[in-house]
Each structure stands twice: as structure tokens, then as C-alpha cells.
Structure 1
Amino acid sequence: MPELIFPKDFVFGTATAAYQIEGAYAEDGRGLSIWDEFSHRKGKTHKGDNGDVACDHYHRYPEDIALMGELGVNAYRMSLSWSRILPEGTGKINQAGINHYRREFDALLEAGITPYVTLFHWDLPLALHNKYGGFQNRQAAHDFAEYAEVAAKAFGDQVKHWITLNEPWEHCVMGHFMGEHAPGYHRPWTFMKVMHNLLLGHALGMERIRDVLPDATVGITTSHTPAHPFTDRDKDHEAAALANEFLNFVTLDPLYKGHYPEELSRRFRYFKPGVETGDMERINAPIDFIGVNNYQREFARHTYLVPFLNTWIVGGTQGAERDFVKDGVQHTSMGWEVYPEAIYEVLGWLRNDYDNPTTMITENGAAFEDEVIDGEVHDPKRMDFLEGYMGQVKRAMDHGSDITGYFVWTLIDNFEWAAGFAKRFGIIHVDHQTQERIIKGSGRWYADLIRRSQAQ
């Protein structure tokens, strides 16, 4: 295999999310988010873990930026806490929150690291949820647009690259369909409505950012997990096609084709999302880049036990407690199959079916069991994972995909949503009792890849 190397101008970064690392949940005027409320409900997270302190990044960001400098990354994808800036979700601005992020952006820029800022990474202000149910209500899209404008005005001199939403599918399905994430609803009939309101929020927010910052680059991050048939039966092939509409094309089709997937729309015809005149044209407006998150593939099989979809998606966490090998194939501690070709397949869709848009890999990484031995963390499984997946990214580039950057998920071991602190995705180890950081072997591997690529 030839040595893995990327173009000299390639963007190498790491990615995080505010609620997963910041902590300081009640400091400096921050309002509560739905994740503050959800993570404090009994039985909703592993061992009752929450993000009250998380990685204490709010106070330790200078240390974390110094570690990014040691890795040699030239970009950092981070999210803003909406309720830290607008404690009630709209209206009065919290200047202390603005000042905090301005200090962090200054520190990043001084270190030569370009910020890529995500506006919504699932932590909706609790006030908006209590007021009207969050993205179940169309009003959330308009309130998000207000927030986007506030952020653009506050940080436009420091931030040139914006991501409106992170993974609308996950917030929609995990939060409103399956109830495993905040706000914890089991309301499958709201799937299309919540999805539409999220995508409308993206569109309206992008308009506001561009009004304030005409030269900014604005995109959205969507998650993509290829679904393959569970068996070679025709019914399972049909199930996989529908699963791909549900998992993947429900975001790509409206963004790039101006409509929702046809078969999926037919199956959910009794639960239409409430599309108003002009909505789809706004959602279909050109974006500067698409952010792609990929970790694995899934399998789909036909079943009459699932109403409307008649499809069961086999995969996911599967209750895994640690990583394992099954049928000779490595799985992560999330229970996810290590299948690097999945990311190549996703990039092939974009190249062949969606006019090859400018793409950034905004999340890719793996959770494995890590041990600190003599002050070091050796994680060869994660190194193999990153080399395999990044190799497939480079393969897609060699075949014509317009890919400009890659952000490894994640910088530091964090609060992994419902899994709490039990799952470690970081390329930097964090002891959540002492907050000590240690760059893992995978972090050193990534730093070496960056160095070799930029030395050309």
C-alpha cells in the first residue's frame, strides 16, 4: 500500500461539540439546554453522567488549543452553545457568552488554527423547548435564524467558516423518534415535521449569515450510513433502498434536488411535514460545502412488524460494553463495524448523484478501550481505523471527489451523549476526575500524517 499523504493545502482538523466538552453549565449567564435537563433525568445516561463539568474546556481551552498546536492541526471544528449566547433562545444577548467565545477564537487564530463553527449541535435552549416543543414547531427555524444572525454579527471578524446544523437526522430520530437523546420523545409520526423544520432552520440561518457576512463560507453537516441488504432476498434489497432514503437521502435530496425522497414520502404520506410555499426552494439554495459524518454501515431487512417502513435496520450500539471482533471483523466499543469502504460509498453518492459538491469530512473516528500505562496511551486499533477510513477518503479524492478537509472525531475524550463518559473517541485521553490530558498514539499518528502532507 502506498504511503498515505494528502495535498499540501488540505485542511486537517479535529472536531468537538459544546455540551460534550465545555462544562460550566450554569456560569456567566448561560441558560439551560435540553441536554442539561435530559441528562439529569434518572436512567437516561450511562451511570447518570452529565455535561455539568464534562472536560472543563470552558476554563481549559488554552491548554486544549496548545495540544492542538502540538498535533499540528490547522483547523478546529467546534460548536457554540446557543443558550450561552441567548439564554432564552431569543431576545436578550448574554454578553459574557459572546466575550468567552471571542477570547477562544482569538486564542485559536493566534495559534494559527482556523475555526469552523457549528451553530447547532443538538443543545437547543430549554426555554424554547418549554415554550413550543423545539423543532417540532416551525417557529424553531425562525428562532434559529435569529441566533445565526447574532452569532454572525458577534464573531464575523474572527470566523469565516460556518456550519448551520450538525446531523439533523440524529437530532430528529434519536431525540424525537426513539427517545434516546434529548428531548427524549417517542413520536415517530413527527419525523418528517422535525426534519423539515431543521432543514428550514438551516436555510433561514444561512440566509442571515450571508446577509451579515457576504464573504463567509456556509455549509451544513449531515450524517451518512450506507444501508446494505441483510440477505440477498429481493425484499431485503427493497428494504435497504428504503433505509438509505430514511438514513441518508432524506437530507441530501432536499438540499441538492429540492424534494424529499419519493418512496419515503409515500410511506409517510399521512404525516406530511407541512411544507409551505417557497420552503423547498430555500432549502435547495446553494451551499458552499457539505460536511459529511460517517462511522460505519448498517444492514436492512424486510419486516412487516415495523409500520409504514416495513424495514428493520440492523446495527448500531447493540448494547456493546467494549470493542470486539465478530466473524473476523473488528467492531468499536459502540458496537459499530469497522468498514472503511462505507465512507468511500458515501463520497461516491455525492460525486455521482449530487453533482460532486465541495465536501469536508466533519466527523470520523472510533471509540475503543484505552488504558494509561506509564503515562502513555497506546491505541493501535484507533490508528488502524483512522488509516483505513482516511485511506478511503484519499481514494475518493483520487477518483474525482472534491474533498477539501478532514476533522477527526474527536479531540478529547468527552461526554458521549447517552453513553456518558463510558465511550472514548478522543485522540487525546482525558481523566475526567483530574482533567489530565495525554495525547494518545493515534494523536501522534495523526500529527505525523499532517507533518508529512504539509512537507511536500
Structure 2
Amino acid sequence: MERHISNLKQLGAKEYRFSISWARLCPTGKCADAKDHEKRGIDHYHSFLDLLHAAGIEPFVTLFHWDLPQALQDEYNGWESAKIVDDFADYVRLVFREYGDRVKNWITLNEAELGFWADPIYLTGDYPESILKRYNDSILQRFTDEQKQQNKGSADFFGLNTYTTQLVTDGDKDGKNKGVDWTGHTCPQWPQAGSEWLFSVPWGFRRLLKYIDNRYDSTAVPIFVTENGISSTGNGTDSKPELNDQWRIDHFTSYIGQMRRAIEEDGANVQVYTAWSLMDNFEWSDGYRDRFGLIWTDFSSENRTTLFKQSARFYSDLIQVFL
């Protein structure tokens, strides 16, 4: 932990987003009873938050980042069951009770996919019309009028994870489905990242910020960019790390430049920008192959040695400009 905080301080970072692992605090997924708490996990986050506070770094904490305790999946299929609501609420109460005095910025779920989640919270209280048309009551439980009122306006900021852009056409040739089905396209001229799904499309970022501002009113609910970055695959090895990543610097320069245009020319109220990620890490099904980090991680070394890439030094200089 100390090394990571030291790296953040060297970067000059004033905020850091990370996620708390539900299973690390309550391995069974049940947090209502203290006997099911894992003290080592709870203490770990206390220590980490204390270090962040001492370094003057503001934490942004995500409550759920796709790591559902296996016991709840086995018991009732996890998020497919309404039973998850009470167990998640008990987990959140534990987190707030333990860490609420040091964390002001909370993110409920990682990467909630925009309209499907955003319309109920920031606009109407209900799902978008296209979703209601696509899914029947047996698949998508409808909100009650009371729930719609509870949904609407229940967030203080608009958390945005964004990486790439696609051109979209109506999936129905006669164009009658009105957005219920669609086909995504990419352009051969767009620079492709190591991740096969990720293309660097800076102008798409600006358009997205402008769309969010227009649809959800970022004046009332500011936009926090909680993830944005680009990956490499197969560039460098642990014995010969790729530290000169000018292509990543180009990506951040273009994306942050388009964000600034969205702010200054389009009026989007963007207040936070967080690069993904501080260091190379485990990227889900892609494992350690795809490297998003500003800092190189040597996965073959016992203590996971880290080295600053050129993009880290660029980002550090950039941070100072905006402080």
C-alpha cells in the first residue's frame, strides 16, 4: 500500500478512485451479523484510507466492482434475484459505518452501461422507452410510482467510465424499431488499442460529454469522468518493459483536449477526470495481457516491481497545469 501511495504522490495526484471488495469484508456476502465480518479485510481499507488522508489524496470509492461473493451467486443467482437488495444494503451499511467519516465521494456500481441506468436516476425515474419496448414484465421488473420518485434525483454527480466510440446504425433495415436494435461500426482509420474492442476516438468523447450535458443537465448534476484510458497488448515484457509509450500520451492529449473543448465550447460541467489506470493490473478475462497502467508492473517479480512510464511523467506534468 505504501508504495502505491508513494507513486500517487510522485504523480501529484489529488484524488484516487478505487473499489472495495464486498467478499473481502464479508466472505459469505452476509454483513448484517458481525460474526460474518472479516476483520483483516476491514482493517486493510482503514489502513489504506489513513495513508491516502495523510498524503492529502481524496478517495473516490466504488461499492461494487463486479466481485459478487460466490456464496450469494450459489444461494440465489446473485443479481438475478431481488434478495440481493437486502444483502447489498447490509454490506453498504457496514462500509458507511466503517469508512464514512473519511470518504465523501461514493459510486454505487461500476460502469452502469448510460440510458438504461441514467434515465431513471437523472431524468424520468423510469427506464428509457426503448428498454420498456424491448423487454417484457417477466424479464424486466417495472418500477412502481413510488420507486420512480425515489429514483429521480438520487445522485449528486454523473459518474462516467468511457473508453471508445462506435458509429451506430439501425439494426432493422426498414428503420421501424426506433432504437430497439442496432449495429455498431468502427472506422479503419481509428487507432486501435491492445484491447480489440478499444479504438481511440477523441471527438467521440466530446460528443458524449455534450450529449450527457444536454440530456441530463450537467449544470445541476456535474460530470465526474471516473475512468478513461487505453491499453497495450504484447508491447514489452517484464524483462524489457515498454516505458516509452508515446502513443498513450497522444491518446490522453487528444481525449483531455476534447474534454476541455466540451467544457469551454459546449458548456459541459465536467469537474473530475480520472485516468485508468495508475498501474498495470488484472483486466478480467484478459488477465495481465492488456496493460492500461501509467506505471509498469513487473508481474514476474515477487514484489511486483513498478516503473514509471513516459505517460506517467506526462500525466504528472499535466496535473500541475490544472491544479
- Pair in the same fold by TM > 0.5: yes
Match of 2:165 in 1: 297
- Picking from 68, 73, 91, the partner of 2:13 is 73
**Matched AA of 1:450:** I
> How far apart are residue 168 of structure 1 and its match?
3.0
Say yes or no: does 1:275 pair with 2:219. no
Unpaired runs of 5+ residues, structure 1, are 1-60, 170-247, 316-325
1:436 and 1:86 map into 2 onto residues whose CA distance is 30
- Aligned Cα RMSD in Å? 2.1
Offset from partner CA, 1:383-409 (integer Å, 9 cap, x none):
000111111111111132211111100
Say yes or no: does 1:340 pair with 2:284. no
> How far apart are residue 420 of structure 1 and its match?
0.9
Q: Is the 8 A contact 1:69 1:111 kept in 2?
A: yes
Q: Is the 8 A contact 2:241 2:296 kept in 1?
A: no
1:288 and 1:303 map into 2 onto residues whose CA distance is 35
Q: TM-score, normalised by structure 2?
A: 0.88
> How far apart are residue 282 of structure 1 and its match?
2.0
2:120 and 2:99 map into 1 onto residues whose CA distance is 29
Say yes or no: does 1:361 pair with 2:225. yes
Offset from partner CA, 1:105-139 (integer Å, 9 cap, x none):
11111111111111100001111111111110112
1:347 and 1:141 map into 2 onto residues whose CA distance is 31
1:404 and 1:300 map into 2 onto residues whose CA distance is 29
Offset from partner CA, 1:74-130 (integer Å, 9 cap, x none):
011000010111111113222221111100111111111111111100001111111
- Picking from 263, 266, 269, the partner of 1:397 is 263
- Picking from 110, 116, 131, the partner of 1:264 is 131
Offset from partner CA, 1:362-381 (integer Å, 9 cap, x none):
00000024437977700011
Q: Is the 8 A contact 1:368 1:381 kept in 2?
A: no
Unpaired runs of 5+ residues, structure 2, are none
- Picking from 24, 28, 32, the partner of 1:88 is 28
Q: TM-score, normalised by structure 1?
A: 0.63
Q: Which 4+ stretches in 1 moved above 6 angstroms? A: 372-376
> How far apart are residue 264 of structure 1 and its match?
2.6
Q: Is the 8 A contact 1:371 1:378 kept in 2?
A: no
Match of 1:140 in 2: 84
1:282 and 1:330 map into 2 onto residues whose CA distance is 42
Q: Is the 8 A contact 1:294 1:342 kept in 2?
A: no
Distance 1:124 1:106, change over 3 A: same
SS in 2 for 1:152: helix
Equivalent positions of 1:405-416 (< 5 A) are: 405-416=272-283
> How far apart are residue 301 of structure 1 and its match?
3.8
**Matched AA of 2:236:** E
- Picking from 232, 254, 258, the partner of 1:388 is 254
SS in 1 for 2:85: helix
Aligned residues: 304
Match of 1:284 in 2: 152
**Matched AA of 2:107:** I
Match of 1:38 in 2: none
> How far apart are residue 252 of structure 1 and its match?
1.5
1:424 and 1:82 map into 2 onto residues whose CA distance is 25
Offset from partner CA, 1:412-442 (integer Å, 9 cap, x none):
1111111111100000001111111011111
**Matched AA of 1:80:** I
Structure number with greater CO (CA < 8 Å, separation at least 6) is 1
Q: Is the 8 A contact 2:202 2:258 kept in 1?
A: yes
Distance 1:416 1:404, change over 3 A: same
2:191 and 2:268 map into 1 onto residues whose CA distance is 27
SS in 1 for 2:51: helix
SS in 2 for 1:76: strand
Distance 1:453 1:300, change over 3 A: closer
